[in-house]
Amino acid sequence: MTPQLTDKYMVTIAERLTSAYARIAEAAQNAQRNSNDITLLAVSKTKPVSDIMAAYEQGQRQFGESYVQEAVDKIAQLATFSDIVWHFIGPIQSNKSALVANHFDWVQSVDRLKIAKRLNAQRPQEMPALNILIQVNISAEDAKSGCAAEEIDQLAQFISQCSQLKLRGLMAIPAKSDDANTQIQYFEQLQTCFDKLQTQYPHIDTLSMGMSNDVEAAITAGSTMVRIGTDIFGTRT
């Protein structure tokens, strides 16, 4: 029997997914945390639908996408896989917010009132409330998206009053660093913001931080959701 290219593909993604879960389990154990408290979001941006299906076959259900049009096309192609939970994690332009409001289950990149307002108005009434994470610019880099830590309260207050939105927590993409201590410092800043927010909104449950490069640091600092792309699907071109 000649193996199909897709079979080879699937083995690769299956193996990588298994090691991603093993990595989370080990990091959780080292941090004396329960790995069941950490969700793996498979970041499939730029990757084909066949890759998403390969991960799905291994039981993966949470997927993250960053580019609206690409994501909407893939979501349509995968419409029969109705238990996939789609997270939008990229920057949101106003003119794309309706597509995001109509097609996703979560939006992790809400960083300004204008976008929160639009998402609330555009989320169809018959759909469940859109789960929202406020994206925080933790390392105060000019080029990155995310609100300042001082702006979290105002945004959270608005979102929590929106009938079509459900505040779930915070997300950040800190400045890239290969130094574990620096990574942990950034993530601890976000954890502090999260703890503070949770005193006002006890139902929030999601602290989305950690990517292929810094999963361990993020889990040490209390992440409940790591967003892994490269380590599962390979490098992006």
Ligand X SMILES: *Cc1c(COP(=O)(O)O)cnc(C)c1O
Contacts of 46 (CB under 8 A, 6+ apart): 67, 70, 236, 237
* Residue of 16, 96, 168, 227 that binds ligand X (CB under 6 A): 227
**Alpha helices, DSSP H only, in 5-130?**
5-30, 49-57, 68-77, 97-103, 113-122
Nearest to 89 by CA among 206, 193, 218: 206
* Residue of 68, 89, 138, 165 that binds ligand X (CB under 6 A): 89
Q: 11: helix, coil or strand?
A: helix
**Minimal distance, residue 89 CB to ligand X, in Å:** 4
Nearest to 113 by CA among 162, 172, 69: 162
Q: Nearest to ligand X by Cβ — which residue? A: 229
**Does 102 contact ligand X by CB under 6 A?**
no
Which is closer to ligand X, CB of 126 or CB of 178?
178
Which is closer to ligand X, CB of 84 or CB of 228?
228
Which is closer to ligand X, CB of 160 or CB of 189?
189
Q: How many CB atoms lie within 10 A of CB 175?
A: 14
**Minimal distance, residue 96 CB to ligand X, in Å:** 15
- 151-170: contacts with ligand X (CB under 6 A): none
**Minimal distance, residue 10 CB to ligand X, in Å:** 20
Which is closer to ligand X, CB of 203 or CB of 236?
236
- 132-151: contacts with ligand X (CB under 6 A): none
**Does 19 contact ligand X by CB under 6 A?**
no
- 30-69: contacts with ligand X (CB under 6 A): 43, 45, 66
Which is closer to ligand X, CB of 160 or CB of 213?
213
Q: 133: helix, coil or strand?
A: strand
Which is closer to ligand X, CB of 67 or CB of 81?
67
- 167-226: contacts with ligand X (CB under 6 A): 173, 211-213
Which pairs from 184-187 meet CB under 8 Å and 24+ separation?
184/217, 184/220, 184/221, 186/138, 186/139, 187/138, 187/214, 187/217, 187/218, 187/220, 187/221, 187/222, 187/223
How far is Cα 98 from Cα 168, in angstroms, rounded to an integer?
A: 20
Pull the structure tokens for residue 111. Answer: 């960083």
Residues that bind ligand X (CB under 6 A): 43, 45, 66, 89-90, 173, 211-213, 227-231
